[in-house]
């Protein structure tokens, strides 16, 4: 620097200034790299949790559907039993109508017994049918939650792919899209957790 405040750059000063500016640019690039790496690690961890929840709800849906099928079989057995009682009642009533007067009371008692037994069997069958409906409803709810978890996992995987592309291309737009996809994936995951 001269006495009157005028400074003349030498070749060495110019190179130092250029290196300093390049260093700031490299730091900004390193910041983007670190930011994307941290984002990817966090989103991948959350995605793994979402994927586990998707598998869990799918397994629950299958279990509940299986319980519905087993209970439906038990209900069908009860309805078959009900039908058998109805047939026996009808035969007892026919026998009563065809029997001599002295034997009609015996067949009438049998018909009344079958009528009473039918009512008990019907109550059991209706109860089983209600259980089937409940198991089916729980299975459907679990499948809905499974789809939400799977959607959240898929969107987070897209965010991770966008992160890789943003890192390779150094495009800010892709970085913004990555953050947007991550936010959408987290939002869908929250909806799944809240059973929406």
DSSP 55-71: HHHHHHHHHHHHHHHHH
Dist CA 13 CA 49 (whole Å): 54
Is position 118 within any domain?
yes
* Residue 50: inside a domain: yes
* 173-195 as b/e: b if 16+ CB within 10 A: ebbebbbebbebbbebbeebeee
In a domain, 3, yes or no: no
- Nearest Cα neighbor of 85 from 65, 57, 113 is 113
156 domain residue, yes or no: yes
State the CB neighbour count (10 A cutoff) for residue 14.
10
Q: 92 lies in which domain range?
A: 44-193
Note whether residue 38 is domain-resident: no
pLDDT of the chain, 196 residues: tens digit per residue: 455 665 555 554 444 454 455 444 444 456 788 899 999 999 999 999 999 999 999 999 999 999 999 999 999 999 999 999 999 999 999 999 999 999 999 999 999 999 999 999 999 999 999 999 999 999 999 999 999 999 999 999 999 999 999 999 988 899 999 999 999 999 999 999 998 8
Residue at 103 is within a domain = yes
Residue 4 lies in a domain: no
Return the pLDDT at 120: 95
The count of domains in the chain is 1
Write down the pTM of the prediction. 0.69
Query: Domain for residue 82, yes or no?
Result: yes
């Amino acid at each position: 620097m001269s006495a009157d405040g005028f400074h003349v750059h030498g070749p060495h000063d110019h190179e130092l200034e250029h290196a300093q500016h390049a260093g700031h640019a490299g730091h900004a690039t390193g910041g983007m790299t670190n930011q994307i790496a941290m984002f990817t690690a966090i989103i991948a961890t959350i995605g793994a949790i979402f994927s586990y929840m998707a598998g869990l709800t799918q397994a629950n849906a299958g279990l509940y559907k299986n319980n519905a099928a087993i209970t439906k079989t038990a209900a069908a057995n009860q309805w078959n039993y009900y039908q058998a009682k109805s047939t026996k009642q009808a035969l007892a009533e026919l026998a009563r109508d065809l029997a001599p007067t002295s034997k009609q009371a015996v067949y009438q008692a049998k018909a009344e017994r079958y009528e009473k037994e039918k009512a008990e069997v019907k109550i059991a069958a209706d109860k089983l049918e209600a259980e089937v409906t409940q198991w089916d409803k729980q299975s459907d709810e679990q499948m809905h939650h499974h789809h939400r978890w799977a959607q959240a996992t898929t969107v987070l995987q897209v965010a991770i792919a966008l992160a890789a592309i943003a890192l390779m291309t150094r495009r800010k737009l892709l970085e913004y899209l990555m953050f947007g996809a991550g936010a959408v994936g987290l939002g869908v995951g929250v909806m799944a957790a809240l059973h929406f």
